[in-house]
Amino acid sequence: MNPTAITDILRRQEIETPSWAYGNSGTRFKVFAQPGVPRDPYEKIADAATVHRFTGIAPSVALHIPWDKVSDYQHLAAYAAEHGIRLGTINANVFQDDDYRLGSVTNPDPAVRRKAVEHLLECVDIMDATGSPDLKLWFADGTNYPGQDDLRTRQDRLADALQQAYARLTGQQRMLLEYKLFEPAFYATDVPDWGTAYAHCVELGPRAQVVIDTGHHAPGTNIEFIVAFLLRQHRLGAFDFNSRFYADDDLMAGAADPFQLFRIMNEIAAAGAVTPDGGIAFMLDQCHNIEPKIQAVIRSVLNVQEATAKALLIDRTALAAAQRDGDVLAANDIIMDAYHTDVRPMLRQLREDMGLEPEPIAAYRASGYLAKVSAERVGGNAAGWGA
Ligand code: PSV
Ligand code: MN
């Protein structure tokens, strides 16, 4: 691909940032408070808009309900627009009420299942008000002990709930179903892998799509294979990018394993699906427990952008020829050549062409934004888990 074609794609790339990345978070041992943390969804939007201002490619923010509950969602959407961004994916949250101890949509108690489905429907009402295109579902449902509940019946309950939510979607709205190997359930998770998510999506219809959260697999899983498979089936709806050393560590995307992120973006670039018309929502899903949050989100956006630029640099004609010839080492060299290219000068130039500061992190640090919001955001309750 010629340099102009590459920069044209990079200019149109969009990465959605999560509202919860701006709030306080922690491990199950401690939530650390940081200065300047937003106290409500409006302040989270201001932080997300700041990330977009410095990167130019993060024009939307994902909301999590009820963490981001407000009385007027149209007002919130208008506020986002005033700040130069839009409201993106609506994430349902059926994992924090005491009622959900034995599951939400797969709970043995029909009253609890009904409550969970009502929340999913409420999230679609919110999408109608905000213009958000996607409903993202992740269920903490599962069991801790063999015999605790019937595994097949739980799948029936899940299918029934998904069907009710899917039927409520209108127009171009989509349902994105996320899987996760384990945690909080430790014996059997009800949506543990891409195969389960995929099978439910196929049963539902074309607007049900799978979400790949990069932290939700067993160690050593070949995630790019899952990407390739789902792309081929037209069922890859979105990513939750983050990185991990052990389990679902929720570290900055591209921090723990930049080569894996590159391999994933290679599959996306090969399928021509980097830009929004490719139908994939590229989101971050991370927590910044010990590092400054806004700067960490900027770093993550840039890491995804760098991995994408490298993937776009792969000489696909030469690669196809090497693959046809069975030249294993030449093919691998072509991939590694792109991976080892320093794309930072190209991206600095791109930002200048887009009217942005060439070095987003340095520019953000020099802007004084964090000192300003730390002085302003005094009193009230800092947003965080459960808030
Ligand atoms: C679950 O671990 C998850 O990845 C889901 O996307 C949730 O919505 C998110 O984290 C926030 O806790
Ligand atoms: Mn996730």
Helix (H, G, I), strand (E, B) or coil at 8: helix
Residues 6+ apart with CB under 8 A from 219: 246
pLDDT digits (tens, 9 = 90+) for 242-281: 999 999 999 999 999 999 999 999 999 999 999 999 999 9
Partners of 238 in the beta sheet? 211, 281
The amino acid at residue 205 is G
386 pLDDT higher than 90: no
pLDDT at 1: 86
Partners of 134 in the beta sheet? 174
Segment 318-335 mean pLDDT: 98
Name the residue at shortest CA distance from atom 6 of ligand 1: 138
pLDDT level of residue 196 (50, 70, 90 thresholds)? very high
pLDDT digits (tens, 9 = 90+) for 52-90: 999 999 999 999 999 999 999 999 999 999 999 999 999
Note if the pTM is more than 0.85. Answer: yes
387 pLDDT higher than 60: no
User: What lines the ligand 1 site, CB under 6 Å?
Assistant: 20, 91, 138, 178, 180, 213, 240, 248, 285
For residue 179, how far is its CA from the centre of ligand 2 (angstroms)? Answer: 8
Helix (H, G, I), strand (E, B) or coil at 356: coil
pLDDT at 384: 87
Extended beta strands in the chain, E state: 16-18, 25-26, 31-32, 60-65, 86-92, 134-137, 142-143, 174-178, 188-189, 208-213, 236-241, 281-284
Q: Provide the token pair at 79.
A: 């506020």
Please choose from 240, 242, 286, 288 the residue to mutate so as to test ligand 1's pocket, defined by most ligand atoms within 8 A of CB: 240
For residue 100, how far is its CA from the centre of ligand 1 (angstroms)? Answer: 16
Conformational region of residue 337, where left means phi above 0, alpha means psi within -120 to 50, and beta covers everything else: alpha
Q: How far is CA 114 from CA 9, 15, 134, in A?
A: 44, 34, 22
pLDDT digits (tens, 9 = 90+) for 343-360: 999 999 999 999 999 999
pLDDT level of residue 160 (50, 70, 90 thresholds)? very high
For residue 339, how far is its CA from the centre of ligand 2 (angstroms)? Answer: 26
CA distance 191 to 385: 23
CA distance 51 to 151: 43
CA distance 118 to 94: 10
pLDDT digits (tens, 9 = 90+) for 198-248: 999 999 999 999 999 999 999 999 999 999 999 999 999 999 999 999 999
Q: How does the average pLDDT of the chain come out, rounded? A: 97
Q: Provide the token pair at 189.
A: 């998770």
For residue 328, how far is its CA from the centre of ligand 1 (angstroms)? Answer: 39
Domains of the chain: 3-376 (3.20.20.150)
